[in-house]
Amino acid sequence: MSKKLKIGLFGFGVVGQGLHDIIKSQNLNLEIVKIAIKNPEKKRTLDTHLFTTSHDEILDNPEINTIVELIDDADAAYQITKKALSSGKNVVSANKKMIANHLEELVHLQEEHGTSLLYEGAVCGSIPIIRNLEEYYDNELLHGISGIFNGSSNYILSKIFNEGASYDSALKEAQDLGFAETNPILDVGGYDPKFKLTIATAHAYGLFINPDKILNIGIQNLADADIQYAKEKNYKIKLVPTTRKISTKQVITFVLPKFVKSDDFLYNVENEYNGVTVQAAFADKQFFFGKGAGGHPTGAAVLSDIAALRYDYRYEYKKYHQKNGLIHTDRVSLEIYLRYQHEYTLEKLQIENISERFSRHDYKYVIGNVSLKSLLENKDLLLNKDVFIAQTGRIIYTEQDIKAIAEEGILVN
């Protein structure tokens, strides 16, 4: 039998209101006792006695046994989550930045205090990827996970490739619809999918990675020339985070725009939808598809976590506790498309094995190989307005990569 949850809700924005709408429509054994907000002057559709501006009024309330955290401020979300878990309250959160930056500590807090932190809504909206990695793939050998993790950037790219919209007009439309923030760099710059990739990698491989160690390059420098090149090759450009096991002991991660072919599952993932591809040794390739932005899709994922807490569900972090010896590495090379203006860009990145090159007075590009390590070390260069980079999907082992792996006694799969 399920226990009754007495909920303290932090945040009543798009997702918070979406969650409230869903709860009202369901006959569930739960009650929202109090809602923390920032602006008490703002008109609300609910009774004013439900709202408070004091975090402690909720966190110190012994009646409340469950905290649902849906605020934008990652630092405040961390303090709320930490205090709640330490005081015996379970937590549901959708704050991917907070979770990605503090996951290892939060795992230990749960173990120490016998509490549970669930965060399905933090990764890919309505797609239940975390629960699947925890349960369905718990004993599976995963080759890799990749996909479209950010509905805002995908909406922009869909408008560009399907309707011929300009980048600026597509971005404005995404902002008007509430898919992108006023300052959209977290989405279009690849930070949001990087935080989600960090969390997914923890459940897929048991690796807690500092997000600063993961390369993220977004679509903010996309230009007409890049779009034209992709269309001439019958590709679409998607922003694709990737985590991949490249040897028996090594895992790589990165977020880069990618040229996607028509036979790729991601090719037809459009607008605010997300898509996740999981490649496994035994289950082979599987694909998850669903809305990745909007109050109701994310609210539904949050509600799923709340419902699971009624039966004392918690993540077990099995692959982390297995101590499988996996390490995060940058010892691999990627085949990339690089548009650039100055020749020193090629020299600085140490592009090798150039298979295609084009140059005119206003547009230069190459297709060649570059090490992930070099991309990480030269990230600032890649953010220059005159540079755009996209992966082709090919991962290459150079002689140096193979030698480095061999020296560690690791065999390449």
Q: Which tokens sit at 338?
A: 């690089």
Q: SS3 of 328, please?
A: strand
Please say whether the beta carbons of 313 and 197 come within 8 A. no
Active site residue 196: yes
SS3 track for 82-108: HHHHHCCCEEEECCHHHHHHHHHHHHH
| Residue the block writes with tokens 């008490």 | 40
Name the residue among 406, 180, 137, 393 with its Cα closest to residue 281. Answer: 137
Q: Which residues pair with 145 in a beta bridge?
A: 243, 278
Burial of 378 (0-12, 13-18, 19+ CB in 10 A): middle
Q: Which residues pair with 110 in a beta bridge?
A: none
Which ranges in 206-363 belong to alpha helices (H)? 224-232, 295-309, 318-321, 344-349
Burial of 361 (0-12, 13-18, 19+ CB in 10 A): exposed
Burial of 385 (0-12, 13-18, 19+ CB in 10 A): exposed
Task: Identify residue 79 by its one-letter amino acid code.
Answer: Q
Interatomic CA distance for residues 403 and 408, integer angstroms: 9
Residues 6+ apart with CB under 8 A from 12: 20, 35, 37, 44, 51, 70
Interatomic CA distance for residues 155 and 271, integer angstroms: 4
Selecting among 196, 238, 245, 364, the annotated active-site residue is: 196
Task: Give CA torsion, residues 110, 98, 380, 383, to 10 deg.
Answer: 130
Q: SS3 of 121, please?
A: helix
Interatomic CA distance for residues 204 and 400, integer angstroms: 27
Q: How many CB atoms lie within 10 A of CB 376?
A: 15
| Residue the block writes with tokens 């004392």 | 312
Ordered DSSP codes for 214-239: SEE--STT--HHHHHHHHHTT-EEEE
Active site residues: 196
